[in-house]
A and B are shown apart, each in its own frame.
Chain A
């Protein structure tokens, strides 16, 4: 509920032009009521139900349908969707390309997904790649990266990055990290570290060479998480070794460079990540120092450390938030 005379007042104060006032008046005279959200919800629900239902139907009746038919069907969807995309796409460019219409992005997503399902099915049922699981993920990864760049689709780029991570023997999205990530194996830690470094380099290269600059965020997002988590798990994995501190040193160096980059890009998101991950590292070091003898004094000191450091972090966050806010508006 806002004052009815608001626009009249704004007009008389000269804050809005007569032209804008007319536009608003006209809009209010014949208001449009958008059911966009409702239609989207129904659409999403419908697709979810239909695909689940069909999937179950096929699953229950696979003996009478046969794998070849199912594969053929998926291949048809895939080819059809890709055909549509090749026909209607806008010409390639190294900067951002808008999609020609609203449905285009979804059709492309369907094409890419069905391709991934197709290769997965082929491998699962017929062992096309034999025991070369690397190849089984490498081929879809290449295709996904190509499609992401060729048609300029962020969602497919994310799928491709996930595929890259799978190919390297790990999964990269946060959800899987929490569920499956096994921090006890040093091989996984090193793989993860390599992946993180690769993605960060890719993010910088993307910005430096200006090839699809808007892809930089995705690379950096996954890269930063991967590299910090692997460094932290490296530290805990080698906790009792003398060179464990080297991992924390790595975090320090990394934070410094990422901080420089984040302030240059004015990105509060990455700043927040840097601060939080570094905080975990510093806190683990502090606890390690204090927890030599278990007595009330040490406990009280640890409590005080957390109170003081959290207040400090709050002040830092507020500071950066205010600093970056001036770029935020408009």
Chain B
């Protein structure tokens, strides 16, 4: 079902794996070059700069072509059906570009996919349900789900996969809460079960040979599943979403039933994710867990204030640095299969030096010293990067 040439996709996988081995020094450059010859790939895939350039240009082309065509047909261009036609035009060109020009992640296919997907979903929804002014969230989610599922199946696109899995959970949420107040009360638990179910199914499908071309999309769906599982029990989400679904003003902050349970869930689950990740040596759990720890802290800060902000920051920063120091000391030599070294160190000669450019833009506004305005310290004297973070 995937649009791209399957043999070439398989060759790409082999090459990616062997490139890893090359970087780790397990095979020689000559061996890698020989394998490169043996597994030809006919895709057109430029580097990231080319991809961005082609993405922008493709959007320019599509927008101006659509504008020119609309200019030609005149009045009828104001109907939703016309936009639907235009999006189908983009989709057909996407299929043609992939099929005949072998574009793969080239920027051209990305742009066409995004444009046709968004415009098509929007116009079809408008054609079927539109006109009466209020949005029907359930049918919109269904629409998004169907379109993005199709795009995921055809192109294994990660953005489409993210939309697809998000829409799937939205359908369950909106569908279940439609059953009345009982539905709203039980929604968190239903969402938890749905997330666990989805995650376990995905883990099973990930090892299926038939789905070997969809690893990226499955991974994205797994991430969404883990996040939804957490969000379903996050105190803030439960409170705000519950109030909204019950039609209560969000600012009233009504107490959540089983509040203790949800607080425990909010604070402990991220740590459990990290622990699972460390035990199973699974990057997915570790990284999602780390992000969710931050979410837990922000949730907590939203309700309670322990100390002054500056004291909190100082203590938290010192604690983190101590933790890092501890880990680095512990992992001086690899322990239990963990290492602190970057085993995939990849240094290319002619690539732009991203780090240096970023440092450059973080340290501007250096001492221009706007002498006589009364404010202490002025704006960015500490070098921009740190002092103004959005906490």
Contact = CB atoms under 8 A, between A and B. Distances in A.
Contacts of A121: 381
Interface residues of A, number: 100
A314 B108 CA distance: 9
Consensus secondary structure, chain A interface? helix
Contacts of A36: 339-343
Nearest to A271: B49
A161 B31 contact: no
Interface stretch (A53-61, A229-237, A238-246): A53-61
28 contacts: A27-B24, A33-B339, A39-B327, A41-B290, A42-B323, A43-B320, A46-B323, A52-B317, A52-B389, A55-B382, A57-B314, A62-B376, A109-B359, A113-B363, A127-B371, A131-B371, A137-B367, A140-B366, A158-B357, A175-B361, A176-B365, A222-B360, A269-B49, A303-B65, A304-B68, A314-B108, A330-B29, A330-B32
Contacts, number: 283
B353 A217 contact: yes
Interface string A139-161: 01000000000000011011101
Given A32-B334, A311-B61, A272 B316 contact: no
Interface in B1-59: 13-14, 17, 21, 24, 26-29, 31-36, 38, 44, 46-47, 49-50, 53-54, 57-58
B26 A27 contact: yes
Contacts of A222: 360
Contact of B309 (A24, A56, A304): A56
A65 interface: no
B3 to A, nearest CB: 19
A304 B60 CA distance: 11
B285 to A, nearest CB: 12
A31 interface: yes
Interface string A304-330: 101100110110011001000101111
A189 interface: no
Contact of B57 (A217, A299, A300, A314): A314
Contacts of B309: 56
Interface string A171-202: 11111100000000000000000000000000
A52 B357 contact: no
Contacts of B47: 268, 321, 328
Given A174-B361, A175-B364, A176-B364, A39 B64 contact: no
A20 B27 CA distance: 5
A35 interface: yes
* A-B interface, 10 closest residue pairs, ranked by CB to CB distance from nearest: A50-B317, A53-B313, A158-B360, A120-B367, A46-B320, A53-B314, A49-B317, A56-B310, A155-B359, A154-B356
A46 B328 CA distance: 14
A278 interface: no
Contacts of B29: 330
B33 A310 contact: no
Contact of A313 (B57, B65, B383): B57
Contacts of A300: 68, 71
A241 B354 CA distance: 40
Contacts of B38: 13, 15
A325 B350 CA distance: 12
Nearest to B356: A154
A71 to B, nearest CB: 13
A32 B324 contact: no
A38 B290 contact: yes
Interface of B: 13-14, 17, 21, 24, 26-29, 31-36, 38, 44, 46-47, 49-50, 53-54, 57-58, 60-61, 64-65, 67-68, 71, 108, 206-207, 212, 215, 281, 286-287, 290, 309-321, 323-324, 327-328, 331, 334, 337-344, 350, 352-353, 355-357, 359-361, 363-369, 371, 376-378, 381-383, 385-387, 389
B386 to A, nearest CB: 5
A120 B377 CA distance: 10
A124 B368 CA distance: 9
A224 interface: no
A268 B49 contact: yes
Interface string A283-316: 0000000000000100110011011001101100
Interface in A1-46: 1-2, 6, 10, 13, 15-17, 20, 23-24, 27, 30-39, 41-43, 45-46
A39 B368 CA distance: 35
B366 to A, nearest CB: 5
Given A116-B366, A136-B367, A269-B352, A54 B381 contact: no
B352 A217 contact: yes
A162 interface: yes
A20 B31 contact: yes
A123 B367 contact: yes
Contacts of B364: 162, 166, 171-173, 175-176
A306 B357 CA distance: 32
Contact of A124 (B28, B50, B369): B369
B383 A307 contact: no
Nearest to A275: B53
